[in-house]
Structure 1
Amino acid sequence: MNRANKYTFRLPAEWEKQSGIMLIWPHNETDWQPCLKEITTTYLELADVITRYEKLLVVAQYIEEVKKLLAEHLKAEQFQRIVFRQCSNNDTWARDVAPITLLPMAEYLKANIAPHLLDFCFNGWGEKFKSDKDNCINRQLYFTETFKGVLENHKDFVLEGGSIESDGRHTLFTTTSCLTAQHRNQPLTREDIEKRLLEIFPDMHRVVWIEHGELQGDDTDGHIDTIFRCAPNDTLLYIGTDDVNDIHYNDLKALDKQVQSLRTLDGKPYRLYKLPLPEAIYDEGERLPATYANFLVLNGAVIVPTYNQPRNDKQALDIMQEVFPGYDVIGVDSRTIIRQHGSIHCLTMQFPEGVL
């Protein structure tokens, strides 16, 4: 594990102060090729929003083209907040490729202990897609001095950032469908995986396994960030539907029942908010995994995926404003993103303060 003392580290909540957000830029040799113009427009919108609030790390295969594009699109002061790094990439899902950061616990801050950036194995969500280039990005970033911290090697363990959530209070949430899926960490059992997670994230006192909610069209075997998210003040958000004709209805009812039963480590109920399930969106007959749970928290803002569904979009944005009072809540049309089976949180990775 390469830590002098593993108990000096903690996994920060996503809403803690950040130093920046990472994006991996799409190009013609990725699966975005058929809709490259549309997804580039979405990326420019994301870059515009992010750089209003904090730094942006742009990882790109064709770096000079991307620099020119962003310089033309952004205000000069926003462009100055971008850190560019050239890396080859298979795809663009930074949440599952980028390192997961641990910070020193408060009592060790004066000891000048560096953050640790955990470099897990990314294998294309269970060997479904090519991942050789993506799996090398973290080391390339580290050796170009992108991060202020220590890269910690966990290449013997498959773990994607979108597969875990933390309430910021010693509970780690994940889904059984994803972490026990084939071609990830066999022959490890669920008990083996839980033990490993608690070793890797030493400030976590328990792992809670979510058993329901996988969306049609989700290539990840049920990443938790598509169905269930944590927020400040012991708050949980999760998706649901009252449409008995929706194929997800029974499974989401079971998810609702499980979430209602959850308690904090202190034995208290969580504050619960049920996000609407967007109306079904199809691409060539395939249902796409549209979800409002895949939001991104910034310093002072929340970016929420929208789907040109005024009633549902407004309901999701209103809920997010209630959950994050004092934050700017900004909707970004994510209909192009879901064509490749993810959304805004999947495309991005945050780095805590002092890392980027």
Structure 2
Amino acid sequence: MHRRAICSVFCAMLAALLAGCASGAEPSWSGDEEQSPRPTVLAAGDPVDATPPSGYRVPAEYEPVRAVLITWRDYIDVLGPVAAASAAAGARVLAVKGPPSIPGVPPQQYQSLDYSTNSAWVRDYGPVGINEATHTLGMVDTQYGVRARNTADDAIPCKLAATLHSPCYGTKLVFDGGNYMTDGRGNAFLSRRIYEWNSGMRREAVDAALQTYLGARTIHIFDYATDPSGRPADGTGHIDMFAKLVGECKVIVAETSDEPFRSVTEDAANYFRDLACGSGRYQVTRVKGWVSNGTWYTYTNSLIVNRTVIMPFYNAAEQNVAAQRAYESAMPGYRVVGVNSESSIGDGGAIHCLTREIPSLGSP
């Protein structure tokens, strides 16, 4: 084959790899098994006896961040810029199966972790950082559920805890991190998927586990968009696909005329407008979302790293500009960075789903 032709073939293959190829990457769900209620099943060796001590809390995502965890296997075109922006915001970058270096990430802020992994969706199987009364870090190992990825991925939280010399607390609760928001003061926000996943447990038992392991004192439950068969219309049913806490008493909620998302997003926006917070109510900022070729495009699937917001951009320039302005309006003083997430959104997630922040240590 001619040298130029060989180069063309190689470059095309490399471009496809770097794009994360939605057709070849593991989506954030895994077929019918992922769409139906999942019984609580423990993997061999899972720690289920240890519970966090009293005096801990789960920080809000807009609180200081010490590191960002990613898995370097799919959607590299998204993860590379996210890693660089995270480092620029003062966070270390921890990359499972990461390369020797990542452009834009200083060596002193980077660490590759040689863990086995099944997918790139670190938000769902990743650790939950905990600020304890002793100002030390801990991890919570929830159950990743019955799916093809509940082996290597499900082991990562406790492996990372060992790497960071932190305790790891195990629970039988089936839980995806993309379906959890907190204000860091005990208010937890989830979609009703949490009860469907744990259909073998009474609702009171699920709430008790959220309180024990995630520091949730008040639990707020939202509906999620479903297709005609009753399955999640976005593939996940996660709250991060339509809402984002961005500060004290501040939330961004998707806005759309496309059903079945319209009614869900309107209900969520109205709920927050009526929800007491401090001496008033939540400030609600709306940002456009839409459905195209069966994919739900959302800007709420973003990552906050200290004073920087890393938000998804798509091949929709006008919508990108409007969404960036919405973030800037809701979060004055923050740097807003857009990263094209077309390669991942069709598989059920964007920047939030592909990352997991590790909080800085300290008191509120």
- Give the TM-score range, shorter chain: 0.7 to 0.9
Query: Equivalents in 2 of 1:288, 1:330: separation in Å?
Result: 23
1:324 CA displacement: 1.8
Question: CA 1:273/1:132 → structure 2, altered by over 3 Å: closer, same or farther?
Answer: same
Q: Which residue of 2 aligns with 1:281?
A: 292
1:354 CA displacement: 4.2
Query: 1:332-352: CA deviations, max 9, x gaps?
Result: 111111122111000000001
SS of structure 1 residue aligned to 2:88:
coil
Number of residue pairs aligned between Structure 1 and Structure 2:
309
User: Is 1:351 aligned to 2:364, yes or no?
Assistant: no
Query: Equivalents in 2 of 1:254, 1:15: separation in Å?
Result: 24
SS of structure 2 residue aligned to 1:21:
strand
Query: 1:120-157: CA deviations, max 9, x gaps?
Result: 1112xxx35432111112233333x2x14211122x12
Task: Provide the alpha-carbon RMSD of the alignment.
Answer: 2.3
Output the amino acid matched with 1:57. L
Query: Equivalents in 1 of 2:55, 2:263: separation in Å?
Result: 43
User: Is 1:186 aligned to 2:233, yes or no?
Assistant: no
Query: Equivalents in 2 of 1:334, 1:239: separation in Å?
Result: 17
Query: 1:198-217: CA deviations, max 9, x gaps?
Result: 22234x33101112446865
The equivalences for 1:232-311 within 5 A come to 232-241=247-256, 243=257, 246-264=259-277, 268-278=280-290, 280-282=291-293, 287-311=294-318
User: Is 1:42 aligned to 2:55, yes or no?
Assistant: no
1:19 CA displacement: 0.9
2:94 to 35, 50, 57: 57
Q: Which residue of 1 aligns with 2:100?
A: 67
Contact 2:269/2:284, CA 8 A, preserved across alignment: no
Query: Equivalents in 1 of 2:72, 2:331: separation in Å?
Result: 28
SS of structure 2 residue aligned to 1:16:
coil
SS of structure 2 residue aligned to 1:326:
coil
Contact 1:122/1:135, CA 8 A, preserved across alignment: yes
Query: Equivalents in 2 of 1:2, 1:180: separation in Å?
Result: 23
Task: Give the structure-1-normalised TM-score.
Answer: 0.80
Task: Give the structure-2-normalised TM-score.
Answer: 0.78
Identity %: 21
User: Is 1:96 aligned to 2:96, yes or no?
Assistant: no
Query: Equivalents in 2 of 1:14, 1:318: separation in Å?
Result: 20
The equivalences for 1:14-163 within 5 A come to 14-26=61-73, 32=74, 39-53=75-89, 54-60=91-97, 63=98, 66-67=99-100, 70=102, 73-74=103-104, 78-105=106-133, 108-109=134-135, 114-123=136-145, 127-143=146-162, 145=163, 147-154=164-171, 156-163=172-179
Query: Equivalents in 1 of 2:285, 2:341: separation in Å?
Result: 21
Contact 1:119/1:151, CA 8 A, preserved across alignment: yes
Question: CA 1:95/1:325 → structure 2, altered by over 3 Å: closer, same or farther?
Answer: same
Output the amino acid matched with 1:198. Q
Output the amino acid matched with 2:299. Y
Q: Give unmatched runs, 5+ long, in structure 2.
A: 1-48
Contact 2:59/2:183, CA 8 A, preserved across alignment: no
1:160 CA displacement: 1.7
Contact 2:62/2:305, CA 8 A, preserved across alignment: yes
Q: Which residue of 2 aligns with 1:29?
A: none
Q: Give unmatched runs, 5+ long, in structure 1.
A: 27-31, 33-38
The equivalences for 1:191-210 within 5 A come to 191-202=204-215, 204-210=216-222
SS of structure 2 residue aligned to 1:332:
strand
Query: Equivalents in 1 of 2:246, 2:169: separation in Å?
Result: 27
